[in-house]
Structure 1
Amino acid sequence: MPSALSVRPIGTTFEVFCAFLKLGLTSFGGPIAHLGYFRDELVVRRKWIDEKGYGDLVALCQFLPGPASSQVGFALGLLRAGFPGALAAWAAFTLPSAAILVAFAFGAGIFGGTVGDGVIHGLKVVAVAIVAQAVWGMARNLCPDRARASIALAAVLVVILVGGSTGQIGAIVAGGLAGLLLCREPVSRIEGELRFGVPKWLGLFCLVAFVVLLLALPVLRGFISWQGVTTADAFYRAGALVFGGGHVILPLLETEVVQTGWVSADQFLAGYGMAQAIPGPLSAFAAYLGAILQPPPNGFAGAVIALVFVFLPGFLLLVGALPLWDEFRTKPNAQAAIRGANAAVVGILGAALYSPVWTSAIIGTYEFALALTCFVLLTVWQTPPWLVVAISACGGLAIGLTGST
């Protein structure tokens, strides 16, 4: 009997908010770990959805661009309490980490001298280990054969030769086209169905809105000189291209805020390292960047603009896909294209591992040894990321105090 999901709200917005606030305060470990927390709390304990339905929902969100764990949370809030519940789920899961990162952005300026510089450098070094772990894990899962490994390598070359957001978008598009030719596999029978009760007209409206914003925001920034529009465009475009996991947002945001001079490479990597030490979605890193970028609006206003627009495209695509998913996901061409696009994403993240992550953080043998230690702790010892971040911060402080390189 297939699993069926129907959006007839049976809970309250407050109930959803409380459930996701607990998850937002306790869900460490990245998007895959978040999905495990969601299952334990909402499938096993609260029984908001059955196992088959949850698996089907996860498959949809993994298929679409966007932050997968936040999309799953949004959909579960939608299932439980309608669209108010969906917004409550996103806010409760995201705001704790966003608030911590904004506080760090405001407080980062007080870090100075040898101690402050050492801690910040340790946060930059741990980013090397975390991104390397992400590349390794994603390569094993998304590039298991010669064809997809070759697509990933080609994506690295495209990013290096073309550069900027054009290179990244071109690599993903080329990866999808290559997937149509090289990644065709027998389509396995897919159990379950998603029936959220979202009307097709609303789904179509959201898909059109997604495309219109993607195309119109770059045009608007040419006519409106206000930096807020430029910021919205940059973060919306980054959020629209997050395939394959939360870490993929790193190179996309680096292109938008570091290469434009809005944020320094040191600030960027320090904030990214800090984002690993706290619970909640990695995409909340956008709030930190919005708070510190120059020129204004920054601070609280910049954080809100960045946070909303980095999540908006993923949610528009999710609502747009819900009425069409059961038919679309069985198409061989769709599955082949997404395999190729995911392989290209591995290449994009691999290129970012070298520049700016490695080149900005590894400036001597001691930094290399610290990064390698963090990598082994993460991959072999399965140490919690927050603890690895703390260890690296202490290591960076020790390197700074001794003056070692």
Structure 2
Amino acid sequence: MKTDIALPHSSRMGAAGEVLAVFLKLGLTCFGGPIAHLGYFRREFVERRGWLDDESFIDLVGLCQFLPGPASSQVGFSIGLLRAGWLGGLAAWCGFTLPSVLLLIGFAAIAPSLGGPVGSGLIHGLKLVAVAVVAQAVWDMARRLCPDHRRAAIALIAVAVLGILSTVYAQLIVIGLGAVLGLVLCRNTTSTDTARVLQHTHEFRVSRTVGAIALILFCVLLFGLPALVALHADPAVRILEAFYRSGALVFGGGHVVLPLLQQQTVAAGLISSNDFLAGYGAAQAVPGPLFTFAAFLGWMMAEAPNHWTGALLATVGIFLPGLLLVLAALPYWQALRARPSMTALLAGVNAAVVGLLASALYSPVWTSAVLSKLDFAIAVIGFFLLTRWRLPPLAVVVLSALAGMAEATLH
């Protein structure tokens, strides 16, 4: 039995080269985060090219937002798969992802040479961008994912638990606790997403066999890589495991990967807090998915076999689980969405994610970047430019970087 997404008659199978060209253009021009990316996708593939209809696009978005991983990359991969088969899915992922990967690798390569007041001011300004961007993410996600007292309580419990626990498994504990509390407290939660179901045609097929293989591979890597690290502490396996685990546990959007990556890299002593936040700030200035921040981290890791290998392992590791989960879920998505318990569980997880990101806003983001009253002023101005004036993140990055350089020259 196969589960498919209905397509308009005009959207027949195309060539992988066509998919690569379209997604490469998007990978060079899609600024603004995952929600903005989905807007670009809708204009390009629904309105302009007619590769799929509006209802099918919303179905894909609903599926990818339900799963862990980078939603915009998962939607792009699914559209490429739909248009040109397996090569089309790979072409879509490469076209959308590689431009920002290469830009962040370029920044990582020159970052160590950015000395003096101007260079250090630029790095500090990028760290202040991270404060504004994460604060905006917390604000927006809290309004969207904690609209009632029960889900707000789950988020506050998550903050409290993270403030008490110091174990490396704190994030996992909080996500699991959120799932349990969601099942108990959010039974009556409804979602407009669950009102839709996938359509059945013969245009786009993912068999249950393929879905089962993808799910098995996802689980084997999730549980097998830590065992390999424990048995044989090879640096390459350790890097792949750290980023795979982070990508497999990210609910709620790209910014939520921040605390997971911080735990796997900074807390593990693989990268400095200053480099981590500078790279996160730079990731706001490039187009494409925020998960490409992993390429910067992989390049900067001292224990990687070499810079390019570290960047490759980190990039593949963080994106692979989300793509495997899309393939695993497509054949079962209709039945899964019909379960009220799944909606309740996801509501609790999403509320816990808000607490997870709020905790990360304090440490390491705030504690590492805001060191003076002027830093506080720059961060607050950046926050209001993003939330009230709705300036694009790239403009806020430029302004904060200039403010950081000006602050450094004044001192």
1:298 offset after TM fit, Å? 3.9
CA–CA separation in structure 2 for the residues paired with 1:296 and 1:253 = 16
Aligned pairs (5 A) from 1:14-163: 14-163=17-166
Is 2:272 aligned against 1:264? yes
Instruction: Name the aligned partner's letter for residue 190 of structure 1.
Output: A
1:295 offset after TM fit, Å? 1.2
1:4 offset after TM fit, Å? 2.2
CA–CA separation in structure 1 for the residues paired with 2:218 and 2:252 = 19
Pairs aligned (count): 401
Instruction: Name the aligned partner's letter for residue 248 of structure 1.
Output: V
Is 2:303 aligned against 1:292? no
The counterpart of 1:280, out of the listed 275, 288, 292, is: 288
CA contact (8 A) 1:5 1:194 kept: no
Is 2:247 aligned against 1:239? yes
CA contact (8 A) 1:194 1:322 kept: no
CA–CA separation in structure 2 for the residues paired with 1:207 and 1:335 = 20
Aligned pairs (5 A) from 1:311-326: 311-326=319-334
The counterpart of 1:360, out of the listed 365, 368, 387, is: 368
Instruction: Name the aligned partner's letter for residue 401 of structure 2.
Output: A
Is 2:195 aligned against 1:190? yes
CA–CA separation in structure 1 for the residues paired with 2:16 and 2:380 = 45
Change (3 A) 1:164 1:287: farther
Query: 1:55-96, CA deviations, whole angstroms, 9 ceiling, x for partnerless residues?
Result: 011000000000000000000000000111101100100000
CA–CA separation in structure 2 for the residues paired with 1:164 and 1:281 = 29
CA–CA separation in structure 2 for the residues paired with 1:213 and 1:67 = 18
Q: What is the SS of the residue equivalent to 1:261?
A: coil
Instruction: Name the aligned partner's letter for residue 324 of structure 1.
Output: Y
Is 2:173 aligned against 1:170? yes
Instruction: Name the aligned partner's letter for residue 161 of structure 2.
Output: V
The counterpart of 2:237, out of the listed 217, 229, 232, is: 229
CA–CA separation in structure 1 for the residues paired with 2:291 and 2:331 = 26
TM-score normalised by the chain length of structure 2: 0.95
1:164 offset after TM fit, Å? 4.8
Is 2:310 aligned against 1:310? no
Q: What is the SS of the residue equivalent to 1:295?
A: coil
CA contact (8 A) 1:77 1:85 kept: yes
CA–CA separation in structure 2 for the residues paired with 1:59 and 1:205 = 22
1:293 offset after TM fit, Å? 0.7
Query: 1:72-131, CA deviations, whole angstroms, 9 ceiling, x for partnerless residues?
Result: 000000000011110110010000000000000001011001111111000001100000
Change (3 A) 1:152 1:398: same
Change (3 A) 1:118 1:180: same
CA contact (8 A) 1:287 1:307 kept: yes
1:389 offset after TM fit, Å? 0.4
CA contact (8 A) 2:65 2:252 kept: yes
Query: 1:305-364, CA deviations, whole angstroms, 9 ceiling, x for partnerless residues?
Result: 000010000011110000000111110000100000000001000000000000000000
CA–CA separation in structure 2 for the residues paired with 1:28 and 1:283 = 13
1:200 match: 208
1:296 offset after TM fit, Å? 2.1
TM-score normalised by the chain length of structure 1: 0.97
CA contact (8 A) 2:214 2:324 kept: yes
| Identity between Structure 1 and Structure 2 (%) | 54
CA–CA separation in structure 2 for the residues paired with 1:190 and 1:370 = 43
Instruction: Name the aligned partner's letter for residue 188 of structure 2.
Output: E
CA contact (8 A) 1:176 1:340 kept: yes
Change (3 A) 1:374 1:152: same
1:156 offset after TM fit, Å? 1.3
Change (3 A) 1:92 1:360: same
